[in-house]
Amino acid sequence: MRLHYLCVTVLFAGVAFAQTAPVRQEKTAAEVKETTGNASLPVKKVVLYKNGVGYFEHSGRVHGNQELGIEFTTAQLNDVLKSLTVVDLNGGKISGVRYNSVAPLSERLKSLQIPLSEAVTSAAFLIALRGTRVEVRNGATSTLGKVFSVETVKRETAKGGTLDVTQLAIVTDAGELRLFELGPGVTVRAAEGEIREDVSRYLNLVGSTRSKDVRRMTISATGSGDRNLFVSYISEVPVWKSTYRIVVPKAPGTPFLQGWAIVDNTVGEDWKDVQLSMVSGSPQSFVQNISQPYYTRRPVVPLPQSVMLTPQAHEASMEEEKEEPGRLLAPKVIARLGYANGVAGGVPGGVAGGSMGGVLGGVIPGAPPPPPPPKVMSEIETEEAEVASALENESAAAVGSNVGELFEYTLKEKITVLKNQSALVPIVQSPIEAEKVTLVTAQEDGELQGRPLRALWLRNTSGLTLDGGTFNILEQDSFAGEGIMDILHPGERRLLSFAADTALRVTSKDGEESKTAKRVIIVKGVMTVTREERSERVYTVHNADTTPRQVILEHPIREHWKLAADLKPEDSGATYYRFRVAVDPGKTEKLVIKESRPDYTSIRIGTITDNQLKVLVEEKTIRPPLEAKLREIMAKRKEVFDVEQEMKSRQQEMEAIDKDQARLRENMKALKGSAEEKALLQRYTRQLDGQEDRLAALKKESADLQGKRTKLQGKLDEMVQEIAANETL
């Protein structure tokens, strides 16, 4: 059995350990306090964006020369350093902004005399002390010397096993090498004061990595008297969310849209009476660790033999610089909007709760009263009328405005959101144009995509840009469904599905398909036939409900296909045509979608075949005069083909003679001169003479055939080039 046991007690006399002051947990990026006196710069304005950052403005009074401290985490400080703006508004100046720099631990450890890393063992610590003077105590014995080595050696136990022990070797002042096995009774003490201080600094540096990540920025304001100070920056915050409610009243009532923003205050400081805005859009933002000291490797360059520099000219800028006055935030046009542009205006609103009762309760003073109720109304009808009246007279707690390419919701009244709390803020209160429909979507292969869905075909008549978020539908005083909505610009139309329509049955099948020639063009011996390929898709819609349905059927837009001239979709998107089909209760309706696309076929008429010509004639793609010309060409090409076949036959015969002559000559080489061989040699000679005569005749015939083929091919080429056509069928 192997045992490993090591115990080292290291004593450092006179070392004082620094104590880290406790950090207040409530201090965060948004806290700005004065270091002298009792003044503060409270948050006055907060703008939240969709990219996870927030814009903060602080303002307050300072007196004389003062320093204001802001505490951030390292992550927050990186954003602040990129965006911090500090302005003394009354003649003073900002004399400086500083913050505590924190180098990486590995870089800070390099300043120590002893080479210690972040992760160190007792043996590694003793190795780092090599060459330094230490005092080793073993019981009552004390020895002074310099560390020589640290080794791990094996020792046998009384039971026959082995264990590893650490052996320390030191060289005494007398030059003796002393060995010590480190154990519970052995202590090692650094005898040099500088080394003890280094060890203390090492422990402090390592311990600082466990402290709270707090970076303090100090702003120095210089001036006289009381002055106003302005501070702004961006910092990481949770993304604000949008959620909507669409109230669908009984016909002929007007649907009503209610929008809310969910904001979270996680910066650790109360937002008291702040001007809150939410921006729909994501301006570009990124994280860069610029608060951390950055080290890079530099090349080693030898000293030059001459340090004289040759003057050189640098090219000028291509663009003229223009100075434009900048602003912290683009000015917002906050108008009081009436129903003329789709936004209800008037009554300021504070922070609203999440219940529908709080939304529907406000009535604008001076607004026109609701229409008088009928003389006899049930309790439910009376309640519905009151709700409708309240919705018509409700106003939003925010107004919207364009900020460059973005859209901003600004609350009319200042808001208070305590730290680590969230709020539901009304941003949209407006009647909306919406139609209740059933949505059916078909895929490119003709199959239906899922079940029919109940949906609202909504047009944004609120005059505001509606940020993307969730929505739910309230219909006839009950929950009807919910869904997700993308960002919706003013005037834009969008289908919002919220529930399945179980009463609608839809089937899809292929209809008639055909391919008809429409045009024939012949130019320079090439015939191009343009055909029209036609396709049909038949949708059958059955309504099993007792109420009528307005069905919006989405048919896929296919590349190169176009709808028949008599088909007009009510709407179309990037990938779908949208057709409307009205289906009465218990009835069935059909929608036939006819499409066509062009199909091009090219044929070289000089190589046209009997089958190709037969198809063109059967399809009535070509007329009889053109057919006759094409048959003349085919006949002429047949003549050329026959001549080519004769030429091929003679070429094959010549190749066979050449092969046989080679055989005969090889046989003649083997003959030795006997009487029989001489007779055979004469026979071979006569055979070769006859073959030579035949080769001469074949070559003459081939030359004649080649001339004949050339004439026929020339005539064929002339006939091909003479044919031209441009006919519409």
pLDDT at 594: 93
| DSSP per-residue letters across 138-177 | ETTEEEEEEEEEEEEEEEE-TTS-EEEEEEEEEEETTS-E
Burial of 187 (0-12, 13-18, 19+ CB in 10 A): middle
Residue 210 has pLDDT above 70, yes or no: no
- Alpha-carbon gap, residue 28 to 233, rounded angstroms: 14
Q: Looking at residue 303, what is its pLDDT?
A: 62
Share of the chain above pLDDT 70, in %: 75
Render pLDDT for 403-460 as a digit per residue (tens, 0 to 9).
555 778 888 888 899 888 898 888 888 899 999 999 999 998 878 988 999 999 999 9
Are the CB atoms for 630 and 608 separated by under 8 Å? yes
Q: How far apart are CA 338 and CA 333, in angstroms?
A: 15
3-state SS string for 538-599: EEEEEECCCCCEEEEEEEECCCCCEECCCCCCCEECCCEEEEEEEECCCCEEEEEEEEEEEE
Is pLDDT above 50 for 653?
yes
Q: What whole-number distance in Å separates Cα of residue 113 and Cα of residue 91?
A: 50
Summarised one tens digit per residue, pLDDT across range 386-416 is: 555 655 555 556 666 665 557 788 888 888 9
Is residue 646 within 8 A of residue 698, CB to CB? The reply is no
Between CA 242 and CA 239 the distance in angstroms is: 10
Position 507 pLDDT exceeds 60: yes
Task: Tell me what pLDDT residue 310 has.
Answer: 45
pLDDT for position 654: 93
- Tell the residue number behind the tokens 């993308």, with chain if given: 486
Compute the distance between CA of residue 245 and CA of residue 396 in angstroms, rounded to an integer.
13
Residue 600, number of CB atoms within 10 A of its CB = 9
Q: 3-state DSSP: the chain helix, strand, coil percent, rounded to 5? A: 25, 40, 40
pLDDT at residue 494 is higher than 80: yes
Say how far apart CA 190 and CA 9 lie, in whole Å.
11
pLDDT at 252 over 80: no
**Residue-range domain boundaries for the chain:** 2-13+110-208, 38-104+212-236, 241-283+334-364+383-411+419-497, 503-602, 608-728
Q: How far, in Å, CA of 17 to CA of 212, rounded?
A: 18
pLDDT tens, position by position, 83-141:
888 888 888 888 888 876 666 666 666 667 677 766 677 777 787 778 888 888 887 78
Nearest CA among 190, 373, 267, 293 for reference residue 28: 267
Is 60 exceeded by the pLDDT of residue 309?
no
Average pLDDT score, the chain: 77
Reading the block at residue 340, the tokens are 């003329």
Q: Which helix (H) or strand (E) holds 434?
A: strand 433-441
Asked whether the beta carbons of 238 and 97 are under 8 A apart, the reply is no
Stated as kind and residue range, the H or E segment containing 701 is helix 675-722
Whether 49 shows a pLDDT value over 80: the answer reads yes
Model confidence at 633: pLDDT above 80: yes
Helix (H, G, I), strand (E, B) or coil at 236: strand
- Specify the pLDDT at position 339: 30
| Residue 459, token pair as written in the block | 């047009």
| Residue recorded with tokens 């296909």 | 561
Of 292 and 244, the structure prediction assigns the larger pLDDT to: 244
The length of the chain is 729
In CATH terms, is domain 608-728 a member of 1.10.10?
A: no
Say what the pLDDT of residue 353 is: 36
- pLDDT score of 271 more than 80: yes
Predicted confidence band at 291 (pLDDT cuts at 50, 70, 90)?
low
Q: Do the bridges between strand 93-99 and strand 133-138 make them parallel or antiparallel, or are there none, so unpaired?
A: unpaired
Rounded to whole angstroms, the Cα distance separating 61 from 41 reads 7
Phi, psi of 320 (to 5 degrees): -80, 130
pLDDT at residue 639 is higher than 80? yes
Which residues pair with residue 231 across a beta bridge? 58, 86
Instruction: Please tell me which residue, 68 or 695, carries the higher pLDDT value.
Output: 695
What was the pLDDT predicted at 7? 35
**Would the pLDDT of 6 be above 60?**
no
The reported pLDDT for the residue numbered 651 is 93
* CATH architecture of the domain with residue range 2-13+110-208: Roll (2.30)
